């Protein structure tokens, strides 16, 4: 289904799409001919039946979903006549209008006999993923349709403040989506291609790429030894000393590292990108190429989180303190440059290492939060979607 969207007018609040093939990618105009065609398609839809009922002066609709054996698996009632879209051989979508330019939908897997949550204003479907736009957060989200907690990616888009700024969003393929949206006070239409995952072979530093592919050994800054990434297993992590130099903690447990996500960014502003890996052990690894070696620096997740595209990141020791800083390097050694400190326990509030009021520090944290974050990519799709 290349496009899931309902177009509404004042005179007609609901458009019926019908039980159509999801690959058509064609929009439906609000014409009588199309409505009649859709109704016929709904009647011919084998797994979802819609019936209209009148209660005094009000009409409501009951739709029933059946599995492949004809057994009823779901039933619900609506105040608007729904449309039905076929997403795949097993997955169907029921859509209904909720107001001018707004709609809701629910997905059904007739083979696995399960249904999704209700989605507000979702757009397209691909491999059990759908695209939604969160008006409150102003973020475009790619979400698993049957797993409420699974988000593949979130994108911050420069939309305007209109009621529905996203005009369309659709999957180009498994790894890219194209979004059309309104921006600025003049309601200018813009479009952008967004990447869900990035292939590992796009890493700019070829020495780091060799390490990521286990064709070159990394230098473990904890043990001082060379090892392959696949054999990396320490739980030790780096902390700062009084001179802002990082050193390793005394913890030295062994846990087989599993990489969850990765990204590439210039952390220290030297125009050379480092690679950051998020591990299953709540550890974050920074891989840096220097004088022919690839150095591995390991942090806790709380020691390096909310990484922004300018290389700044957040760290915290508890729920009452937040620090913002950057990494820099001297030779093979790693250092921390503190930019913002907000510590309610110690009553310490700093900007660029100078004491400020709590209000000023809090304002600076809000500015930091608005910065654009790095794009993180799922490790399991590092060679392309579904190819690992």
pLDDT at residue 257, rounded to an integer: 78
Which residues, in sequence order, are bridge partners of residue 220?
A: 225, 296
pLDDT at residue 184, rounded to an integer: 86
* Residue 234 belongs to some domain of the structure: yes
Q: pLDDT tier at 31 (50, 70, 90 boundaries)?
A: very low
Boundary (domain end) residue, out of 195, 230, 251 = 195
pLDDT at residue 199, rounded to an integer: 82
Share of residues in the chain with pLDDT > 70 (%): 87
- Record the tokens describing residue 343, joined without a space: 């510590």
Total domain count, the chain: 2
pLDDT tens-digit map of 315-345: 988 888 999 999 999 999 999 999 999 999 9
* Residue 3 belongs to some domain of the structure: no
Say whether both 267 and 163 belong to one domain: no
* Residue 26 belongs to some domain of the structure: no
pLDDT at residue 166, rounded to an integer: 92
Q: Which domain holds residue 372?
A: 200-381
pLDDT tens-digit map of 161-183: 888 899 999 999 888 899 999 98
Q: pLDDT tier at 386 (50, 70, 90 boundaries)?
A: very low
Which residues, in sequence order, are bridge partners of residue 326?
A: 337
Say whether both 219 and 110 belong to one domain: no
Boundary (domain end) residue, out of 132, 160, 195 = 195
pLDDT at residue 176, rounded to an integer: 86
Contact between residue 67 and residue 111 where contact means Cβ atoms under 8 Å apart? yes
Q: Beta strand pairing status for 348-351 and 333-343?
A: antiparallel
Q: Beta strand pairing status for 176-183 and 354-355?
A: unpaired
Contact between residue 335 and residue 327 where contact means Cβ atoms under 8 Å apart? yes
Q: pLDDT tier at 29 (50, 70, 90 boundaries)?
A: very low
Say whether both 314 and 218 belong to one domain: yes
Say whether both 287 and 307 belong to one domain: yes
Say whether both 162 and 77 belong to one domain: yes
Share of residues in the chain with pLDDT > 90 (%): 52
Residues 6+ apart with CB under 8 A from 333: 245, 246
Say whether both 78 and 186 belong to one domain: yes
Mean pLDDT to the nearest integer, 137-164? 83
DSSP state of 118: P
* Residue 40 belongs to some domain of the structure: yes
Say whether both 206 and 178 belong to one domain: no
Say whether both 110 and 227 belong to one domain: no
Say whether both 223 and 336 belong to one domain: yes
* Residue 4 belongs to some domain of the structure: no
Q: Does the structure show a pLDDT above 50 at 35?
A: no
* Residue 213 belongs to some domain of the structure: yes
Boundary (domain end) residue, out of 171, 195, 219 = 195
Say whether both 167 and 298 belong to one domain: no
- Distances in Å between the Cα of 347 and the Cα atoms of 278, 336, 355 are 32, 21, 10
Say whether both 171 and 231 belong to one domain: no
pLDDT at residue 163, rounded to an integer: 81
Say whether both 171 and 234 belong to one domain: no
Instruction: Locate the DSSP E strands across 186-282.
Output: 188-195, 218-220, 225-227, 238-240, 246-248, 259-265, 274-279
- Record the tokens describing residue 349, joined without a space: 């509030």
* Residue 20 belongs to some domain of the structure: no
Report the 10 Å Cβ neighbour count for 218: 26
Backbone CA torsion sign across 308, 312, 317, 319: negative
Mean pLDDT to the nearest integer, 260-285? 93
CA distance 226 to 234: 13
* Residue 70 belongs to some domain of the structure: yes
């Amino acid at each position: 289904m290349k496009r899931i969207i309902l177009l509404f007018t004042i005179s007609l609040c609901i458009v019926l799409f019908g039980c159509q093939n999801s690959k058509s990618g064609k929009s439906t105009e609000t014409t009588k001919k199309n409505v009649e065609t859709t109704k016929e398609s709904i009647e011919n839809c084998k797994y979802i039946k819609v019936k209209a009922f009148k209660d005094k002066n009000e009409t409501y609709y009951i739709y029933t979903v059946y599995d492949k054996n004809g057994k009823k698996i779901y039933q619900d009632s609506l105040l608007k006549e729904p449309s039905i879209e076929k997403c795949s051989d097993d997955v169907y979508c029921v859509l209904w209008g909720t107001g001018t330019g707004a709609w809701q939908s629910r997905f059904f897997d007739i083979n696995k006999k399960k249904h999704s949550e209700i989605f507000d204003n979702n757009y397209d479907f691909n491999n059990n993923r759908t695209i939604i736009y969160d008006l409150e957060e102003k973020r475009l989200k790619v979400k698993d349709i049957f797993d409420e907690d699974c988000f593949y990616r979130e994108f911050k888009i420069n939309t305007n403040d209109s009621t529905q700024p996203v005009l369309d969003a659709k999957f180009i393929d498994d790894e890219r989506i194209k979004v059309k949206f309104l921006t600025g006070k003049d309601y200018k239409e813009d479009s952008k291609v967004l990447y869900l995952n990035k292939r590992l072979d796009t890493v700019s530093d070829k020495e780091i790429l060799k390490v990521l592919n286990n064709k070159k050994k990394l230098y473990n800054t904890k043990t001082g030894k060379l090892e392959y990434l696949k054999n990396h297993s320490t739980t030790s992590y780096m902390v700062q000393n009084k001179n802002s130099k990082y050193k390793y903690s005394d913890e030295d447990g062994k846990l087989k590292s599993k990489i969850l996500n990765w990204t590439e960014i210039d952390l220290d502003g030297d125009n050379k990108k480092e690679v950051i890996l998020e591990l299953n052990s709540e550890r974050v690894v920074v891989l840096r190429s220097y004088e022919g070696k690839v150095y591995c620096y390991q942090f806790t997740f709380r020691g390096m989180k909310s990484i922004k595209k300018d290389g700044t990141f957040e760290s915290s020791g508890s729920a009452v303190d937040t620090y913002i800083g950057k990494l820099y390097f001297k030779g093979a050694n790693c250092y921390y440059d503190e930019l913002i400190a907000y510590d309610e326990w110690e009553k310490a509030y700093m900007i660029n290492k100078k004491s400020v009021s709590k209000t000023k520090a809090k304002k600076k944290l809000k500015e930091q939060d608005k910065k654009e974050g790095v794009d993180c990519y799922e490790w399991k799709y590092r060679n392309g979607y579904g190819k690992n």
